[in-house]
Structure 1
Amino acid sequence: MADYRTVNRANWDERAPAHAASPDYEVERFATDPTFLSAVVRFDRPRLGDLTGLRGVHLQCHIGTDTVSLARLGARMTGLDFSGASLAQAREVARRADADVDFVEADVYDAAEVLDAGGFDLVYTGIGALCWLPGIARWAEVVGRLLRPGGRLFVREGHPVLWAVDESRADRALALEYPYFERPEPTVWDEGGTYVSTDHVFTQNVTHEWNHGLGEIVTAVLGAGMRVTGLVEHDSIPWNGLPGQLTRGDDQEWRLVDRPERLPMSYTLQAVREAR
């Protein structure tokens, strides 16, 4: 089997320009409105609190719209991603937004080697990041190494129950078809298209992905020397993750049309690194 990083990087490299050009990422708004924030960051604005002067790193930052948004809230941000094509778009987004953000190309597992270990007040991870990683405990260890004592981890992510649901069922039943718990072997997908509106036809369509149960994530964070300070499960996600079953609200989040209380769609996790 090909190395998962090589396969997944090819997928992201091809999609990055299409994502930046898609209206769903609203890149033009960053250029024309100096107060504009990404929908993901806006959703968690009350939980993020005051970021003024904090030194932050956004792991797996993709094209940097969340990274720039955090910088606009006052943090001194660095974005890290393993896709050079994604970072090329991120640097252009930051330039057009007049945001002072550094971007570093590296695998997330190497972040503590290429960045200032122990020097960050905030480690941020956004929607759709953790599913690309084969081991959540290794990721949490990296986060713990990046944070200074008292520094904060902030995660907004798709819920592992959502990742386990079969979105293709014609009867629209909420069936758990795919792994909920982390396992050594990936789920291998071969799918065209992407999660934003675009007419582009892609050729790099294979991905290797892993799910991580919520208990596994919390346990990994605790094991890496952090104390969980908040865990909120949400009935919504910022993209149409179950086509034909969701409706978009005034907050730009998507929820089940039928009894949204049935399914946790995403969560926000916060933790603080303890003094060692």
Structure 2
Amino acid sequence: MNDYLERNRANWDERAPLHAASRDYGVERFVAEPDYLSEVVRFDLPRLGSLAGLRGVHLQCHIGTDTLSLARLGAVMTGVDFSPASLEEGRRLARLCGADIAFVESDVQAADTRLPAGSFDFVYTGIGALNWLPRIEDWARVVAALLKPGGRLFIREGHPMLGAVSESRQDALVIEQPYFERAEPLVWEDDGTYVETTGKLAATRTHEWNHGLGETITALLGHGLQLTALEEHDSIPWEALPGHMVREADGEWRLARDRWRLPLSYTLQAVKRPGRDRPQERLQLVS
């Protein structure tokens, strides 16, 4: 296994119980309120359309709150993540809520070897996922492999323009990091996480990459997907730029002033064109 994958997985294994215990992820509300949805999926609702009866796979599902939310909208869901601790929390949450969700442990870049090819009506990727992957091309290949012909990709992600802005400069918005994908990772040292918690991480080093919007679209087009929607947003679900942002009633963070200066996230939808399936062995689902 690559060093970056080991480091990132150790970090997310430690984050999982902290996130499950935090108010930000709302685990207690999910258990107490059968119709409760995550703030991330609530933001997506106007764009998702009906999911009733559709078979969906949530790539990089973490502790499964968004996965459960999609199941509550009527989808038959599978969650995929590389962190066994995250999947343990996801299975626990599904069990407490009486939800039938399959959780599969896999690096997202190999998910097409762990799940049946061409069998999903939609692939969902939530926000804060692509920055953990070194090559957007590998992700696009997996998305295409998992979708049925005519199946849909739905992703909301942090905008790569935001990813290029310095998080430490509170006096100005400064372009400091790469916008385009590079072979070399951005290496971070941080013993905290993005939710309110008193816990500290021992696995503090993580590796991340930015992926330009054009690079992401081009990779999807190259694997037989057709772009159907692209929307840029002035908000994101966490305080991505400390000192520059305010949290509003919908739970989203926005620039405190002059919001027209910077896109913070985007929603992309694409459909797999017919005739793009490649002959390959159909694998059995392992949960």
Question: What's the TM-score, normalizing by structure 2?
Answer: 0.94
Q: What is the distance in 2 between the residues matched to 1:125 and 1:21? A: 23
Q: How far off is 1:170 after superposition?
A: 3.8
Q: How does 1:165-176 map to 2 (within 5 A)?
A: 165-171=165-171, 173-176=172-175
Within 2, Cα distance between the matches of 1:226 and 1:41?
Answer: 23
Alignment map for 1:1-276 (pairs within 5 Å): 3-171=3-171, 173-276=172-275
CA distance in 1, matches of 2:149, 2:251: 35
- 1:188-239 superposed Cα distances (whole Å, 9 cap, x missing partner): 1111200010000211110010000000000011011000000000000011
SS in 1 for 2:154: strand
Q: What CA deviation, in whole Å up to 9, does each residue of 1:3-31 have, x standing for no partner?
A: 11101000000110001001100111100
Structure 1 counterpart of 2:258, one-letter code? R
Aligned partner letter, 2:145: R
**Matched-pair contact (CA < 8 Å) for 2:170–2:243:** no
- Contact 2:140-2:219 at 8 Å conserved across structures: yes
> Residues of 2 paired with 1:192 and 1:85: CA distance?
18
Identity of aligned residues (%): 65
Q: Which amino acid aligns with 2:228?
A: T
Letter in 1 for 2:130: L
Tell me the distance in 1 between the aligned counterparts of 2:59 and 2:36.
Answer: 21
Structure 2 unaligned spans of 5+: 276-287
* CA drift at 1:110: 1.1
User: How far, CA to CA, are the matches of 1:196 and 1:242 in structure 2?
Assistant: 15
> Structure 1 CA distance, aligned partners of 2:28 and 2:126?
21
93-102 vs 151-160, which moves further = 93-102
CA distance in 1, matches of 2:71, 2:116: 18
Moved over 6 A (4+): none
Structure 2: how far apart are the matches of 1:140 and 1:169?
Answer: 33
Partner-residue secondary structure (3-state), 2:235: coil
Deviations along 1:27-79, one digit per CA (max 9) or x if unpaired, are 11100000000000000101000000000000000000000000000000000
The alignment's TM-score, normalised by the length of structure 1, stands at 0.98
SS of residue paired to 2:95: helix
Extract unaligned runs of 5+ from structure 1. none
SS of 1:121's equivalent? strand
Residues in 2 aligned to 1:160 and 1:196: alpha-carbon distance in whole angstroms: 22
Partners of 1:41 and 1:111 lie apart in 2 by: 22
CA-to-aligned-CA distance 1:121-168 (integer Å, 9 cap, x gap): 010000110001010011101100000000000001100011111011
CA distance in 1, matches of 2:158, 2:97: 27
- SS for the counterpart of 1:44 is helix
What do you get for the CA RMSD once the two structures are aligned? 1.1
Partner amino acid, structure 2, of 1:190: E
SS of 1:272's equivalent in the other structure is strand
Letter in 1 for 2:14: E
Asked whether the equivalents of residues 30 and 97 of structure 2 are also in contact (C-alpha less than 8 Å), the reply is yes
| Separation in 2, partners of 1:235, 1:249 | 12
Report the count of equivalent residues. 275
Instruction: Return the alpha-carbon distance in structure 1 between the equivalents of residues 191 and 233 of structure 2.
Output: 28
Does the residue aligned with 1:149 lie in a helix, a strand or coil?
A: strand
